[in-house]
Structures are given as structure tokens and as C-alpha cells.
Structure 1
Amino acid sequence: MTDSSTGSGEAQSRARYLLDGRRVTVADLVSGGLLKEGERLRFVRPRVGESHEATVAPRGWIRLSDGEEFRSPSKAAMVAVGYGTFDGWEAWQVDDGRYLTQLRQELLDHAAEEAEPPAAEEQQQTSVSPKERHTRLKEARESAEAGRPLSLSVQELLAWWGATGRGLVNDQIEAELANHSLITSPEFDKVPLTTTVHLVKAAEEEVDDVPLTGSPATITVSAGASDEQESRETGLTVGTLPSALGGVISVKPTATFEEVITLMMLHDFSQLPVLAGPHNLRGSVSWKSIARARHADPGAHLSQAIVDARDVRYDHDLIDVLPTLAEHDFILVRDQRNAIAGIVTAADVAQAYGDLAGHFLLIGEMDRRLRQVIAGAFTLPEVTKLCDAEGERITSFGDMTVGDYQRVLENPELWEQLGWPLDRKVFIARLEEIRKIRNNVMHFNSSDPLPKADVDKIRNLNKLLREYGE
């Protein structure tokens, strides 16, 4: 017989598991008693007069009528149709007419009822509990369905997860948004922190139906509708630069040289885009193109000074546009609606990478000094005993990670052997904070400026290590 306290603990664990940063699967619906193995599913498309059948396979996957099985409802819907992009949770329904998304919502609502308030120490790390966040996301979806999508800044969105910058939290945010069939527009991890994003239904980002050109089994679902995304590291994108979506001053093709020259002088610009409308880029004019046009024809019109201009979407990887920037000095940036929304210059990129280099230098000094402290105080066998007992990873002190430094220094015996007149627990707590900061900078969306508080934490640790580590 199961102890009631044990049952309660299992319920709490499952509730936290479902609410705190993972995508709900069809298998979760089966294990939660909301679906049964062998249950029939239908995907009806009344506008085109077709219907597709499927069943719930033993492992909680969706089995199409031809026997193919998919873990992702979206992938199953796409392969069943043969083209297009679909939110499978909104597509498949059971015999009583309910959609998978309704069953998923029921499962999450039940988990929210079971969830306990966060412990005091957890409450200090996040201002919103998983239960409260679930409520906010549920309300956001209702607003999106009513055509009134919730608008908030990226910083405000991150605060729901107790984060001040993007990085390790990105996957958790995307998973919890996906559980409510929500995405942000524009994508929250590809724009500056101050940008306003809208929580919209994933289905609103569907592309027009286009027949597939390859085997359906090899098609990938777009980020907006996929419910089975792999974890991905996000680096600098064009949109994360402040000027990329910060607006653009432009002229019409019918403008005069006098208008262009006045604007360029007043704003200290080297070039101006020429737009026939927010989506219609005609090119650009620059001091060089004006000089060449007037040299060739003193009576030239502006149209003779317009030259080609390059443009990219805001979510384009920044590193891929560096050759274009080197050749043209600037690129124009299109937003999620394909409108010209900003301009990025070579100087903007130099500033971004310069700031990023500063982060790396601070973290590099910390890593080097911690390694020197440990190498000077302990033997390699003492270190590997704690960090690599199997002897498969650490062959020298240079192989150690920040996590390894932490495991060594949190050991009471080795800390006493170190002989520092400092509190071990306080030091380790700070090192754990910095380890998370480091992971964000080194591996994820490191375009976000480090908050001053985080920079000070690293600087102060480096100062301490310089004092005690010599």
C-alpha cells in the first residue's frame, strides 16, 4: 500500500515536471489518463474537403493510416497532409470532438492545482511561481484567441522566469509557451531586451500551403509550429543589435538631392535608404553615389544616385552577414512583418563584438585564476578523486571546468587545506551564481549586455582571487 505522503510527493514532482520548463507530449496525455492506447484521432480540413485518420500508438506516438508513427502531433499532421505547416495540437481531435490542445490544457490545469507554492529560497530566485506563470500563459492564450495579444517587453517576459538575460532559460521559455500554443512575435531571443513582443498563437505564424518537394518523412517543422524542437544554442543575430529594429529614416524615390543632403547632414549619416513604402526597398543613396551621379551629369535627378542596398531579416545570424557589411558598410533589416525596420552598420557590429569581448576577458581571468589557485594548493589525484573518479576526462588542471573548481572548493577538507580565512558556503554560493552567468555568456545568447550587478560579481571575485591566490 502506498503511503499518502509518498503519493502527495509524487503528485508534486509530476506537477513541477509538467509546469516547469518542458514540452507536454502525447505520451503525457496517455500516462495522465486523458488518452488511451489505440484511441482514434481525426484531422478534419473542411475548407479543402479532406479528413485524415490516426490512432494513438503504444508508446504514446501518433500512428497514421499508413503505419508511420510520429512523436510530434505537428509532424504527424504535416506528413498526413503532405505539405504546409500545422500546429498539430490544434489539428488532431478525439471522438468526442475535443482537440489535443484541450486535453493538454486539462493536464496542465490539473498539474497547477497540485503544485505547491515555491519554497522561500526558490521564491528569491523568481518573482513568478510555475503555477502563477501557468495562469498568466493561459490568460495570454485566451487574449491571443480573442485577437488581443498580450504585449510586453522581452525584459518583462524574462522576469516571469526570474531571469534578467537570455541564455539557459531560453529553452524553458519556448517549451512553456509551446504548451499553450503560443510564440512571441518577433522572436524574443532575436531582438534587443527592450523590444516589445506579442504573445500570439503559433497557428498565426503558419506559412501558405506549399506542396512538398521531397519525401514527407524528411520534412522539418518550422520553429513557430513545432512541438518537438531540439535545444539550440542562440548566438548573435542581426535583430539583437539595438539599431536593427530601432526605426529608419528614409526618403522616397521622388525626393530631391536637397532633401537627401539636408537629412544626411542633420543626422550625420553616410547613407539613406530609399523606400517606396515600408516593404518596398528601392536602394540607397550615399555621399559617394551622389558625387558620382552629379559628376557624370550636373543636372542629374536622385534616381541616378540610387544604388543597390542589401537587406536581411532580423533573425539572420549576424556572423553570416559580416562579409556583406565589410563590402557595403551597412545593411537594412526587415522585421517579422517583412517591413524595413532599421539599419545596421559596421560600427554597430564592432561595438557589439567589443562588448562581448569584454565579457569573455572577465570570465577568462576568473577561470585562469581559479585554476592557478587549485593547481597551487592541491595535487591532480586529489582533484580527479572528486571530479573524475573514472579518470576519463581530467588529465591535467587545464581540463577542469568551473563546475570542477566548485566541487573541489566546496569540499570541507580541501577548503581547510587551502587556508583561506573566508566562509566556504558564502564563497561557493557566489561561485555558483557566476557559473550560471558564465554559461549564458559562453554558450547561449550572449548579445545581451551583462547587468552591472553580474559584472560586479565577476570583478569582485577576480579581485578576491588576486588577493588570496597569489
Structure 2
Amino acid sequence: MTEPHDSRDREASSRASYLLDGRRVRVSDLLRHGLLKEGETLAFMRRRLGDTYKATVTGKGWLRLENGEEVRSPSRAAAIAVGGGSFDGWHAWTLDDGRTLDQLRQELLDSSVSQITDRDDEDSSAEPSVSATERHILLRRAAQQAESGEPVSVSVQDLLGWWGASGRGTVNERIEADLANHGLTTSPNFDKVPLATTVQLVRETLEKDLEEALDEPLALHLKTVPPADEVAPETGLTIGTLPSALGHGVVSVKPTATFEEAITLMTLHDFSQLPVLTGPYNLRGAVSWKSIARARHADPEASFSQAVMDAREVRYDHDLIDVLPILAESDFVLVRDQHNKIAGIVTAADVAQAYGDLASHFLLIGEMDRRLRQIIAGTFTFEEVSALCDPNTERLASFGDMTVGDYQRVLENPACWEQLGWPLDRKVFAAWLGEVRKIRNNVMHFNSSDPLPKADVDKIRNLNRLLRDYGE
């Protein structure tokens, strides 16, 4: 029997949505959609050196090199063909007609956009104002501007909004995949800086353009960097996510400064230390109240240089947890940005505040969980609760095994709500609890490295206040 047209259309539209939302396009996708053929030959030409490498598309969508090795990643295939190095394989490998794999990738994405229906856009997890189609157009334009040397600048917060997100976390992998499908990345890395930071959408290349890299001696590229699609996403707090790490530059003095200059700046800015720089990239050390006092105590006629001490420095994308021992020893570190410029300073107090904010979220969530459990345990029998939450398994052995989802199932039940006797609207309360459950899961599963938005904190605080008022 012939499949109905609307069924086939829905299936095609679903496949298109999948390609456009959170998965990196692979060579096998190009093969499956008829943009490549099994046995087709690709060329990687190093024009200025006169070298050409060949690869054949296999039936499973991998690239078979001239030595017989088969590789899934075009970038990995290019590096192996040359004998080492780091290349953008999507732009390196070309067909006989001169088109690159990236151009085929864009054809596939454009075709997928044309298959997206209005209903798919409405059902998208993104905000209504940014549909999958509109996001594709934004990224396509950003890729064109990056190619012309005029990259799009956007705040991290606004960038997240393209995917309907207000904070980073599980959405990060979708964002990175969609950016990569358009040959883009962010500078600095959007996941390692504060939400208010402005990032640029730039070409997903290495430190130099492909042609420049190809002209250099092979010895400079012997260390092969794994392609982006083979690198596992990093997780955890980085030092760049702290507000003081990447601000609007740092207040500093030169090595030729006087004690009076340093003391005046530190007093006016309420600083405990001050970096000593000969330029935005050249760190000579730092002075602090302690180092100034020590130098003058040892020699009342001491010069300013005698108060300058060594200063530790880290990159903005350095894991915060690895910096803690340095902060315990030095009280502060200076932070270099993506351009290697000294861009900020992080103190032990900054880190204490960051972890304090995170701890306060756990305390709020803990209070909510405890109060909900006490209210339910004091109102219903365990048999009533388990029948609503998990009647077919033995997951729940006591009230202590209940999740926030279980609390929601009990309290949204009309009979249970009536038994509770609260003069409140059941549906509104259940919906609020559902929103808080999502916030709670993000925090408890460490899905985001960002502090909770004030609106989310207020939702939990207000729920706790209600539980205190009605649960006593």
C-alpha cells in the first residue's frame, strides 16, 4: 500500500528538524541524501606546495585514504593524509567540480530548512521568536560575515536565546553542533565566560587560516589536534565564568610607578593587589598591601620595584577547580583572554562568592524538598502515594525515596489536593512546582555552570515561603 503523502511529509520534516537541531552533519548524511556517491573521489590539494591527496567515499560514509585507512572525520582524514597536523577537513576536501564538503553540507542544511513545516517551528523547544528556520538563517548569515572578515558580535545571553535557553548546560552541545555545521565557533568560547560577555561568531579554524598552515613546514604540524567532532565536550566551571576574570581590562601600573601611584589606585578602587604590566600582554608581577608593607618595613628607602612580587597567571578557559590551590597560596591570579592579553584578576574572595552562590541554591532546593516531603508524609499514607507515583515497581520503599516529580504527581491529583485542604488553585500550584522541578534538576545534575537567574531563585524562594505558610 502506498504511504500517504502527509505521512511521508511528516517523516521528511522530522528528519530535517533533527539535522537542524543539535547534531553535527556527517559525511554519511551527505551520502544518504544523494549529495555524495559511494566510490566518489575527493581531493585535498595543497596548492602552494603542489601536493594533492586523494580519498574515496565508502558505502558507510567514511573516507578511504590512499593507504587504505578508513576515517569518519574529514579533518582527521586530512591530517592522516598529510602525516600530521590540524586541518579543517570540511573545507579541505573537494569534489571533481570544485565544491567542498562544506558546500555540500550547506546544501543539505538548506534543503532541510525547506522541509520544515510551520508546525515543526511551533513545536520547537526554542522560544517562539526564534524558530529552527530562523536560527538557520541567522547562522548562515553569520557564516557569510565571518568569511568576509566582519564576524557577528553577540552577547552570550542573546546567543543562548537563539536556542530558546536562558542559561548554559545541556543546550551547549546543541549550540556547538549547530555552529559547527555552519563552520562557526565563538571567540572567546561562549561556555567559558560570563553571560554578559560579547563573543564573535568566527570561522571554525585553528589558529591560522588553512592556506597559511599548509605553507608552513610539516614539522610545525606533527602534533595532530583531534577534530572538533571527535572531542568530548568539557564540563565544569572555568575561571573565565567569574565576572572579574574577563571584564573591561585591568587597572595596572608600570614597573616605573611610584608607591604613591599604586597606593592611590588601590585605595580608590578598593583593591588588595595591583598587576604590574609593561603592556597589555607583558606581565612583570604585582604589588599588594602586604608586599608594599614588607618592602618598606625592610627598607624605609625601598624603591617601588622592591615591592613587586611574582604573579601567577592562567588562561580564561582553565578549569576553576585546578586554580584553587594557586589561590590558596597566592590569594589571586591574573587571567589571560583568548588573545593572550591580561584581561582580569580573580581573587580568593571571588571564588568564595561563586561557590557560596552555588551552595545557597542547594540550600534553597534542600528546604523545598524537605518541606514537600514532610507535608506529603503528614497528610497521606505511603500506599496512597506509591499508587500514584510508581504502582508497578519497587522504586519507592519510603517517603524518602520520592522525587520532586513524585511530589508533583501527588499534589496535582484532584482527590489528594482536596484532602490537603489548601485554599489555593491546584493547577496553578502544580504548574509552578513543575517549573521549579526543571530548575532543581539543572542545579542538582550540574547541567549549567551559570548562577541561577534571579527569576529562578525567586521561584524557589516564593514556593518555600508558601510551603512554610500552609504546611505548618
Deviations 1:267-290 (A, max 9, x none): 222221111111111111122222
Look up the match of 1:441.
Answer: 443
C-alpha separation in 2, matches of 1:397 and 1:343: 47
Question: Does 1:154 find its partner at 2:161?
Answer: no
How is 1:392-407 mapped onto 2 (pairs within 5 angstroms)? 394-406=396-408
- The residue type equivalent to 1:96 in the other structure is D
Deviations 1:71-102 (A, max 9, x none): 32222223333322222212222222211111
Pick which of 4-13 and 288-297 moved more. 288-297
Question: Does 1:15 find its partner at 2:22?
Answer: no
Look up the match of 2:286.
Answer: 284
Call closer, same or farther: CA 1:249–1:101 in 2, change over 3 Å: same
Contact 2:31–2:61 (CA<8 Å) still a contact in 1? yes
Look up the match of 1:265.
Answer: 267
Q: How large is the Cα RMSD of the aligned pairs?
A: 2.8
Look up the match of 1:462.
Answer: 464
Deviations 1:37-69 (A, max 9, x none): 222222222234333222222222223333333
Look up the match of 1:358.
Answer: 360
C-alpha separation in 2, matches of 1:412 and 1:390: 23
Pick which of 132-141 and 69-78 moved more. 69-78
Contact 1:127–1:159 (CA<8 Å) still a contact in 2? no
Look up the match of 1:321.
Answer: 323
C-alpha separation in 1, matches of 2:70 and 2:41: 14
Question: Does 1:145 find its partner at 2:147?
Answer: yes
C-alpha separation in 1, matches of 2:404 and 2:89: 41
Look up the match of 1:216.
Answer: none
- The residue type equivalent to 2:188 in the other structure is P
Shift of residue 408, structure 1, vs aligned partner: 5.4
Q: 2:347 aligns with which of 345, 348, 363?
A: 345
Q: 2:370 aligns with which of 368, 371, 379?
A: 368
How is 1:75-224 mapped onto 2 (pairs within 5 angstroms)? 75-118=76-119, 125-205=127-207, 210-212=220-222, 221=226
C-alpha separation in 1, matches of 2:260 and 2:204: 47
C-alpha separation in 2, matches of 1:238 and 1:387: 43
C-alpha separation in 2, matches of 1:411 and 1:182: 48
- The residue type equivalent to 1:111 in the other structure is S
Shift of residue 424, structure 1, vs aligned partner: 5.1
Shift of residue 108, structure 1, vs aligned partner: 0.6
Shift of residue 341, structure 1, vs aligned partner: 0.2
Shift of residue 449, structure 1, vs aligned partner: 3.1
Call closer, same or farther: CA 1:466–1:270 in 2, change over 3 Å: closer
C-alpha separation in 1, matches of 2:63 and 2:357: 47
C-alpha separation in 2, matches of 1:37 and 1:429: 52
Deviations 1:21-48 (A, max 9, x none): 2211222112211112222222222234
Q: 2:276 aligns with which of 274, 277, 289?
A: 274
- Three-state SS of the structure 1 residue aligned to 2:465 is helix
Call closer, same or farther: CA 1:384–1:304 in 2, change over 3 Å: farther
Call closer, same or farther: CA 1:395–1:85 in 2, change over 3 Å: farther
Shift of residue 309, structure 1, vs aligned partner: 0.1
Question: Does 1:244 find its partner at 2:245?
Answer: yes
- Three-state SS of the structure 1 residue aligned to 2:205 is helix
- The residue type equivalent to 1:354 in the other structure is G
- Three-state SS of the structure 1 residue aligned to 2:94 is coil
Shift of residue 404, structure 1, vs aligned partner: 4.5
C-alpha separation in 1, matches of 2:418 and 2:79: 61
C-alpha separation in 2, matches of 1:96 and 1:259: 66
C-alpha separation in 1, matches of 2:420 and 2:470: 10
Contact 2:244–2:345 (CA<8 Å) still a contact in 1? yes
Contact 1:23–1:176 (CA<8 Å) still a contact in 2? yes
- Three-state SS of the structure 1 residue aligned to 2:229 is coil
Shift of residue 148, structure 1, vs aligned partner: 0.1
Look up the match of 1:383.
Answer: 386
- Which runs of 5 or more residues in structure 2 are unaligned? none
C-alpha separation in 2, matches of 1:356 and 1:110: 44
Contact 2:388–2:409 (CA<8 Å) still a contact in 1? no
Identity %: 68
Contact 2:74–2:93 (CA<8 Å) still a contact in 1? yes
Deviations 1:201-243 (A, max 9, x none): 0115459774446xxxxx652xxx50244455x3221111111
C-alpha separation in 2, matches of 1:354 and 1:367: 20
- Three-state SS of the structure 2 residue aligned to 1:194 is coil
C-alpha separation in 1, matches of 2:125 and 2:274: 50
Contact 1:155–1:194 (CA<8 Å) still a contact in 2? yes
Deviations 1:278-306 (A, max 9, x none): 11111111222223333444443322222
Look up the match of 2:68.
Answer: 67
Deviations 1:373-404 (A, max 9, x none): 4555353696388548454x555444444344
Aligned residues: 460
- The residue type equivalent to 2:305 in the other structure is S
Call closer, same or farther: CA 1:301–1:131 in 2, change over 3 Å: same
Shift of residue 258, structure 1, vs aligned partner: 2.6
Q: 1:429 aligns with which of 428, 431, 442?
A: 431
- Three-state SS of the structure 2 residue aligned to 1:227 is helix
- Which runs of 5 or more residues in structure 1 are unaligned? 214-218
- The residue type equivalent to 2:100 in the other structure is Y
Q: 2:302 aligns with which of 279, 300, 303?
A: 300
- The residue type equivalent to 1:300 in the other structure is A
Deviations 1:135-194 (A, max 9, x none): 000000000000000001111111111222212221111111111111110011111111
C-alpha separation in 2, matches of 1:81 and 1:203: 17
Contact 1:380–1:396 (CA<8 Å) still a contact in 2? no
Call closer, same or farther: CA 1:282–1:422 in 2, change over 3 Å: same
Pick which of 158-167 and 379-388 moved more. 379-388
Contact 1:284–1:308 (CA<8 Å) still a contact in 2? yes
Pick which of 413-422 and 366-375 moved more. 413-422
